Amino acid sequence: MTESPEANSFFKKWAMRQYWRMQQSQAIVSLLLWGTTITLLVWPLIEWRFAAGCTNEPCFTDQIFGISSTYFALAGIFLTVMLSVLTIGFLYDQVFSLWTEWRSVDMERNPYVTYALAPVWVMTIALQAEVLKRTSPDDEAMVKQADWYLKWCERYTEGEMFARSVQFWDNDMGETPTFWFTSDEAMERARQAQFEDES
């Protein structure tokens, strides 16, 4: 028995939500993990230079101000790793400008930049299409295009993002009116929609 598309979509969205939550701290956590890991890998290679019995130069004192020099050495290694990461980040940004290409790919893969409509865009495009229809009623080609825009907007009133917006508008400003590009049934479905991350 094959898994239904709805169940598959639900699982994928749930998994991506958890991934998004982990990503929020990923930059800081991964930086600290990299720093401590490299520090602890490098330390055994130079530890003997800070020991009291060091005989091969260069040797360093085993205490600084009465504190074991191990702590200073570990802090120095960690800060060197952080400085290296910062240097790579500077080169990535200022010298090679790789972030511009990354943004380009990111935008290409974002459905809300290519074909999908977020609620704000639904409202904006529907309003413009309606104004276009009313100001150019004799231009059949323009009216046909405006109708296509309105159909596009109507399609995205069935999505979760629009449902979330309607529920927020209802709570924040009172009952949301039924917009000219959708129907009472679609608005009711938006109001009745349940979101697993808010239950």
Structure tokens at 104: 């380009």
Same domain? For 47 and 132 the reply is no
88, 109, 130 — which closes off a domain? 109
Q: Is the pLDDT of residue 198 over 90?
A: no
Same domain? For 12 and 103 the reply is yes
pLDDT digits (tens, 9 = 90+) for 148-173: 999 999 999 999 999 999 999 999 99
Same domain? For 164 and 191 the reply is yes
Same domain? For 15 and 94 the reply is yes
Same domain? For 12 and 102 the reply is yes
The residues near 22 (Cβ < 8 Å, ≥ 6 apart) are none
Same domain? For 63 and 84 the reply is yes
> CA 43 to CA 41: how far, in whole Å?
6
> CA 192 to CA 112: how far, in whole Å?
24
Structure tokens at 21: 């939550």
What crossing angle do the helices spanning 119-135 and 160-173 adopt, rounded to 10°? 90
Same domain? For 82 and 132 the reply is no
Please tell me the predicted confidence (pLDDT) of residue 91. 92
Same domain? For 20 and 84 the reply is yes
For the chain, the domain total comes to 2
pTM of the predicted model over 0.85: no
Domain range enclosing 98: 5-109
73, 90, 109 — which closes off a domain? 109
Same domain? For 172 and 86 the reply is no
- The residue ranges of DSSP E strands in the chain, in sequence order, are 63-64, 67-68
Confidence bin at 37 (pLDDT 50/70/90) = very high
Same domain? For 58 and 15 the reply is yes
Place of tokens 């790789």: 98
Same domain? For 141 and 194 the reply is yes
53, 82, 109 — which closes off a domain? 109
Please tell me the predicted confidence (pLDDT) of residue 199. 46
Cα distance from N-terminal residue to C-terminal residue, the chain: 29
Q: What is the mean pLDDT of residues 168-185?
A: 95
pLDDT, greater one: 60 or 186: 186
Same domain? For 95 and 132 the reply is no
